Structure 1
């Protein structure tokens, strides 16, 4: 399957969100302040305040997700003689790959009924009239969106979720700090290998690596999943040897699930490729622009009724 270009980049000027706990959290607010983003909370039960993303969610549901094995169709399916759990064969990584292929090959190149240009061309045109802000460096961006944590500085360094972080700079700071000193640091949830520690005197951040022997890169969600799996195995999530056993067992389960979903992945890849190159292509428009049909042609079982925040 070929990789399509996806023109999506830059820092938003305004971010309109609902009142979900993940969006009202301190981490979201801190990241928006650091990146100079105006965070706008919409009133409860008012999806029309962010109609573009709500409509995008419905389109992805009806044109992609509800055609995948294991879908619940967004409603009860008992009367259809269909059980989504029995058909669930896709791992998250496979689903992510298929979703990216759908967005880049079909959605981004398909104009809506009311617009001549596709989302891809609208984005490029918008960048010409309103230049996109770009971070000065990836390290600056990572620090801005990282989670803020704090811990007591010890001779062994800093501990976060039983991961040990130590460096020469941190050791030198311990020698000059009183007992019980708490340090603030930034954690990148996509890679726990390195944290950024704030110097209490200068306010500058310096990198400190994890000294534990784990598989890297390691995401926060993966580390939490391993700790939870250790508990289900009757092991202590605070012992490194127990975590290693739990991680090996969890990786084996993931590998078995990936084998079972390989056939479904190939089938969906072929279908997406067919759609992206099929008879919907409009002659005379570059980059294979696709037109949306005037009326939905899906079976009744796939006619989902959109509900706010229901994906």
Structure 2
């Protein structure tokens, strides 16, 4: 291959180059009437068929075309530079200002419909000018991201969209007095009205695309309300009541939790037992759909939480294809609230800030009140009971295990187990009737999104168009100056040509060497991701010494500990290389005889795979292995709905929350 490296991830193929990539946080709005790009041509969505197909009308030819949702892209907003920067580039004062602005408008955003009286009441309550609140709403709504509320530096940004005051006032007036009326004129008619009014005023009219994009940016709730469709607005945006507080519609509240799985897995090479994996699971409370997960041998950490969050928010077509699972998992989008326990991994500053940047409310359970995590713990219990049916299970207690030798019967690798687990989630759990819902989670999800005769749907959630940026937003961050030798991280040196123009750069405000943002994946520290604040792009920065092998952060820390135990005060790259080689040789040689060594070896392999929601591992199991794991050929008709031997009632005890 050339310098281009194709990465596969959910819903999109992106060519990654050494030249880096530009941030794009604008979500893809999939509601009827919104505009999208398909093969670089702009379409207006006329009808939503299902989770995978919409009907779009070409703005060029007027033809109606069936469009695949996963191939759609967002129409770039004119002021996208406001949000397309790294989260950590924002100073503490600006971040506090953005948070304050969001706290002011948040109660209005939660209302099904808000009018001028609501805005004025909120303005009086917080002592903020009404026009200011409208301005903040206008800034936030097109992106749904708190970065849109960060104060802008004075002066015109390069590429920003501005028109003279007279044209701005004319455009606003026509939209308010002509488009947002009960006569419901079309967008094209509004464009003509703008041109007519501008001609009468003797000024140059804004372009048709400018008019269209301004209208696109209007909140749909307000548009329906002001154009005389109040009942439709109420039906679409007023959620039905639910049992869990505020979990009244899909993605209103998701819960995340971890658990060690009651099964011994084997390594890929020797197929000998290595230990139990950890599962991080995310579930939507309203529909009981599993929205995302992450399985690893590492104990829960900031990385596992971030991977689970990203998997929850991204589409999953490629993920299913990778694990050869022939099922539907039509779940994506940004949750309103994430409900978690009080673990340190959930309370990390980076996770809090990442959630805040996406406008996600992070809610912690009350201390010593486990009942508040009942939904996620119950579904974890359901999955754990199913695992007790697999070879190599450890069961839940010594008494239950009795004389069963878990290690002797262990047969599944991590990849094989993950294939089984995805099948369990998508083909069984999602389709099994849930007592609390009166239907299956998948049916509840579809009903809540598309609606039916008795329940209006909320519409499909926007899809994220920049999956890699979403992943990086939840990765750990460090700040480093760029020296002549490059950048130092954990004692290792990194360099790339993208750093050259930042060597010994001076911060104009502090008159000291400027510190830049670098993000990293703890599972593979062979490269960092450098964020260029001027270009607003990320660039990969590999080891300065390319002879160093890939390694995880935990391996590097083991190497440092070993060298310090030998009395080495300073650590150089040759010592690291030699120590790492020795350690891996020990592990490789001991792999057949000791479980701990096999587990270390398998962890290293899993880290090297670096499977993420945006870049899945290639062929984790073969087609034959997958069919063996999920063979329904011998299933009789009586058990056709229960091919994995799932306990019949998914939630046999009902809700406890």
The two structures have a TM-score, normalised by structure 2, of: 0.36
Contact 1:34 1:144 in 2 (8 A): no
Larger Rg: 2
Offset, 1:140? 2.6
Q: Does 1:210 align with 2:542?
A: yes
Counterparts of 1:112-191 in structure 2 under 5 Å?
Answer: 112-128=434-450, 129-130=457-458, 131-177=460-506, 181-189=514-522
Structure-2 separation of matches of 1:138 and 1:276: 40
Q: Which residue of 1 aligns with 2:82?
A: none
Contact 1:66 1:73 in 2 (8 A): yes
Q: In structure 2, the residue corresponding to 1:77 is in which secondary structure?
A: helix
Structure-1 separation of matches of 2:441 and 2:557: 41
Deviations 1:129-153 (A, max 9, x none): 2332432312331232221112343
Q: Structure 1 unaligned runs (5+)?
A: 259-265, 283-287, 297-311
Contact 1:199 1:205 in 2 (8 A): yes
The two structures have a TM-score, normalised by structure 1, of: 0.70
Offset, 1:28? 1.6
Offset, 1:173? 0.7
Contact 1:226 1:247 in 2 (8 A): no
Deviations 1:211-245 (A, max 9, x none): 353799x6xxx613543665798898961344355
Contact 2:432 2:650 in 1 (8 A): no
The answer to which structure has the higher helix fraction is 1
Q: Which residue of 2 aligns with 1:82?
A: 404
Q: Which residue of 2 aligns with 1:19?
A: 342
**What number of residue pairs does the alignment pair up?**
279
**Residue 194 to residue 280, structure 1, CA distance change in 2 (3 Å):** same
Match of 2:576 among 210, 230, 239: 239
Offset, 1:273? 2.8
Offset, 1:38? 0.8
Counterparts of 1:295-306 in structure 2 under 5 Å?
Answer: none
Q: Which residue of 1 aligns with 2:648?
A: 293
Q: Structure 2 unaligned runs (5+)?
A: 1-322, 451-456, 592-597, 604-623, 652-657
Q: Which residue of 1 aligns with 2:639?
A: 280
Indicate the RMSD between aligned Cα atoms, in angstroms: 4.2
Structure-2 separation of matches of 1:197 and 1:18: 32
**Residue 271 to residue 140, structure 1, CA distance change in 2 (3 Å):** closer
- Greater relative contact order (CA < 8 Å, ≥ 6 in sequence): 1
Q: Which residue of 1 aligns with 2:208?
A: none
Offset, 1:55? 1.5
**Residue 112 to residue 215, structure 1, CA distance change in 2 (3 Å):** farther
Q: Which residue of 1 aligns with 2:415?
A: 93
The answer to which structure has the higher strand fraction is 2
